[in-house]
Structure formats: C-alpha cells, structure tokens
Amino acid sequence: MFNYNQNNENTFVNVNTGDIAVPRTFINHVFSWMAIALGITAFFAYYFSTNAAFISSLLVQTEKGMGMSGLGWVVMLAPLAFVLIMSFGFNKFSASVLTLLFVIYSFLMGMSLSFIFLVYTGTSIFLTFAVTAATFGVMAITGYTTKVDLSKFGAIMFMGLIGIIIASLVNMFMRSQTMDYVISIIGVLVFTGLTAWDVQKLKRIGSQIDASSEPARKYVIMGALTLYLDFINLFLFLLRFLGNRK
C-alpha cells in the first residue's frame, strides 16, 4: 500500500546514530487524525446507543430470539466496505477524498459500535478504553523508539491476524466459548504487536517523504486508518475480558 520515493530530498540521516531522523509533522498528523477519528466514533457510538428508535431498527425478532435486521447488517458491514474502498482507491483518490471517506468511516463505526453500550456497562467500557489507550501508547512508543527491525515480527503478527479471521469465521458456526476465549487472547497479543510494527513502518515512511506534499497527506490518512484499526480491535478484544455485561 505504501509506495514512497526513497530519494526524496527531505530524507536525511543522523550521522551520530545512523538512524533515520523522522519529520515530526508527519507522525503528529497521523496520530492527530487517528485521535479525531476515535473521538467521532466514541461520540456517535454513545449517541446512537441512547436512540431507542435507531437500536430497534437494527434488531428483528426471530425464532431463536433477537437477531440482526437488514439495516443492522448494513450498519455492521458498511465500515468494512469503506476500508476496502480507501485501500483500493488509494492511488486514484485525492487526499481530500480520502480524508472525507475516513471521517464518514469513523461515523459509521460509531453507529456499528453502539451495540457495546447495550451489552456492557458504561464503567467497564470506559475502563477498557483507558487500558487500551495505555497499552497502545506503550507499544506505539516502543515501535517509534526501538532500533530493532520489526519487519519479521510484523509478518508473524500478520499471519496471526489471518488465523484470527479464519478461526472467528469457523466459530460463528461452532459457537464454542473456549475457542472464543482463545481467539480473544490471541487477538490482544496480535494487535498489541501490530501497533508497534505499524508505528515503526510509519516512522520509516515519514522519514522519506515531503510532509507537506499531496502523497504525504494521503499516507497520513491511511496511516491514521491503520492505527485506528489497531486501537479499535485491541479495545474490542480487551472488552471481552474486562467488560462487565449488563
């Protein structure tokens, strides 16, 4: 996804340490947009969770109990569609279009995540969010400051992610609580590791691109999307352990 010009004139090396010096503006912009997206999602998740009409429109009575309505499935799957659109349209879309799509995506995620307020207590959600933020922050700093190349480590985490997806699909039919517990444990480990890897990857990109250029603005949004997904997935997996059900 990330193709950048290694001969960019803004690329420079710290001759004392041999490390690539990173333009702070690029990384700051990435984390700023990630924070904005999380804020949008959190606000609308809470807002829609208090809207009884909206919640009722997402659910339908079935023989086995309450299930998802057609609108409910649209709300759940729409964010995935936006991720795919942004990923495949990276080279075609302008930075402004990607930014708009990212904002809309954050809004849709808020709608999708409104369900957690119906399942878990507000206190446990807040506590889990705080734990997620602390864990994410530690791993982000680790990925930013470490001199160890995390590429091989990241590849292992990515394979773990593929395993989680496959196992989750299988467990949709098996409905095994034990497998669900194992998947949650692996999910926390995988997204904790992916956070460090993705930050290091963004650090390298930021060091080899003009932070004020149009391509850099596009990389900022896609980088923010990547870290946003790491945070949200880590939060959801931790919520399975720390969340108190109503």
Residue 24 makes CB contacts below 8 A (sequence gap 6+) with none
Distant-in-sequence contacts of 134-138, Cβ < 8 A, 24+ apart:
135/192, 135/234, 135/238, 136/195, 136/230, 136/231, 136/234
Report d(CA 193, CA 57) in Å as an integer: 38
Global pTM value: 0.85
Average pLDDT, the chain: 85
Assign 212 to helix, strand or coil: coil
Q: Where are the domains of the chain?
A: 24-242
- The pLDDT assigned to 60 comes to 73
Left, alpha or beta for 65 (phi > 0: left; psi -120 to 50: alpha)?
left
d(CA 124, CA 102): 28
Higher pLDDT pick, 172 / 126: 126
**Which of 11-15, 68-72, 121-125 is predicted least confidently?**
11-15
User: What b/e string do you get for 58-69 counting C-beta neighbours within 10 Å, with b at 16 or more?
Assistant: bbeeeeeeeeee
Residue 24 or residue 127, greater confidence: 127
pLDDT digits (tens, 9 = 90+) for 6-36: 333 333 333 333 344 446 788 889 999 999 9
3 has pLDDT over 60: no
- Torsional class of 209: left (φ above 0), alpha (ψ -120 to 50), beta (otherwise): beta
pLDDT value at position 62? 66
Percent pLDDT > 90 in the chain is 50
| 222-230 average pLDDT score | 96
Strand ranges inside the chain, DSSP E: 59-62, 65-68
Instruction: Supply the pLDDT for residue 2.
Output: 35
